């Protein structure tokens, strides 16, 4: 029997499985979210639509912690997995917002995560910018959270409620449109530090990765 390949990302590795047709290789992925409900609800909805058991390889943690504390949460999740003798995560993603946090805290948390060879799906100002991009381009200046909520309500035809459990099901048909719009925002601000990149979100990169398995 031909030996399995081992793929390594940073300090984490995972035995690879062979591709079947054009199906992507299933990966163990850890997603640690700043919020306890809004972001986890969204990503868990994507998990439920993953095929061939891929969703079981994705762990979503609603940490209820901010910026640098998320680093500790991710390390703790990795340590638990190692103690249980399970395959290590191939990708680790942190999901958090700028909100009202100090510029240094925001930028340093991103740098610390990237130094670990992790990915960061950050948003400036708030995660709801990602939802808004499903309906429209955002080409002006910074948007407050309240403004995003109001704009989302107009698009949804009802009041946007934070922590909605099924928001992905509502907006999923526009996911790839949102990915393209988010990519353009990242390109627009690529020469600026994250705390000055507003409005901007890198959530699209994580969603694009997950949608490969749906």
pLDDT tens for 36-49 read 999 999 999 999 99
The predicted structure's pLDDT at residue 141: 84
Identify the pLDDT of residue 1: 38
Residue 104, helix vs strand vs coil? helix
What are the residue ranges spanned by the domains of the chain? 27-211
What pLDDT shows up at residue 22?
A: 58
- Local mean pLDDT, 10-residue blocks, the chain (214 residues): 34 39 76 95 95 92 86 95 94 92 91 96 96 94 91 96 91 97 97 96 97 92
Predicted local confidence at residue 52, as pLDDT: 84
Predicted pLDDT of residue 4: 34
Residues ≥6 apart with Cβ < 8 Å to 137:
181, 184
SS3 assignment, position 64: coil
| Residue 124 pLDDT | 95
| pLDDT at res. 27 | 86
Distances (CA, A) of 5 to 97, 118, 164: 36, 22, 41
């Amino acid at each position: 029997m031909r030996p399995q390949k081992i793929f390594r990302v940073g300090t984490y590795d995972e035995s690879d499985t062979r591709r079947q047709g054009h199906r992507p290789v299933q990966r163990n992925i850890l997603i640690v979210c700043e919020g306890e409900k809004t972001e986890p609800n969204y990503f868990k909805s994507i998990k439920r639509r993953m095929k061939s058991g891929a969703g079981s390889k994705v762990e979503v943690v609603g940490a209820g912690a901010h910026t640098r504390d998320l680093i500790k949460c991710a390390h703790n999740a990795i340590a638990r997995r190692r103690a249980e003798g399970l395959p290590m995560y191939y990708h680790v993603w942190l999901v958090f917002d700028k909100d009202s946090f100090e510029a240094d805290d925001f930028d340093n948390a991103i740098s610390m995560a990237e130094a670990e060879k992790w990915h960061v799906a950050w948003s400036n100002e708030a995660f709801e910018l990602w939802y808004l991009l499903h309906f429209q381009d955002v080409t002006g200046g910074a948007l407050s959270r309240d403004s995003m909520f109001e704009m989302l309500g107009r698009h949804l035809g009802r009041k946007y409620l934070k922590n909605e459990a099924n928001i992905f099901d509502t907006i999923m048909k526009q996911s790839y449109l949102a990915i393209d719009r988010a990519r353009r925002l990242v390109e627009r601000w690529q020469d600026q530090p994250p705390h000055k990149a507003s409005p901007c979100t890198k959530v699209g990169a994580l969603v694009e990765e997950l949608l490969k398995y749906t």
